[in-house]
Amino acid sequence: MNTKVAIITGASSGMGAATAELLAKNGIRVMMAARREERLHQLWNEIISEGGEACYKVTFIYRHGSLGK
């Protein structure tokens, strides 16, 4: 099994979204993380409808250590 997976933070817009789209188009599974759920879901839907593999998690890192260890 030689599956590649990329975790992309800030994936709801800008360079993060562009990176997620590009990697998915090249056969890499993408895990997207960002604050804006509506935009994440929209991007996820675009990737899936084009045959890519993706998932997303809404994250809001507002201070150091907010995700724990």
Contacts of 5 (CB under 8 A, 6+ apart): 28, 29, 30, 31
pTM above 0.95, yes or no: no
CA 17, 23, 25 angle in degrees (round to 5)?
100
As separate numbers, helices (DSSP H) first and strands (DSSP E) second, the chain gives: 2, 3
Question: For each successive 10 residues of the chain (69 residues), what is the average pLDDT?
Answer: 88 96 97 95 98 93 58
Cβ 10 vs Cβ 16: under 8 Å: yes
pLDDT at 60: 80
Output the pLDDT for position 66.
53
The per-residue pLDDT for 16 is: 96
31: left (phi over 0), alpha (psi -120 to 50) or beta: beta
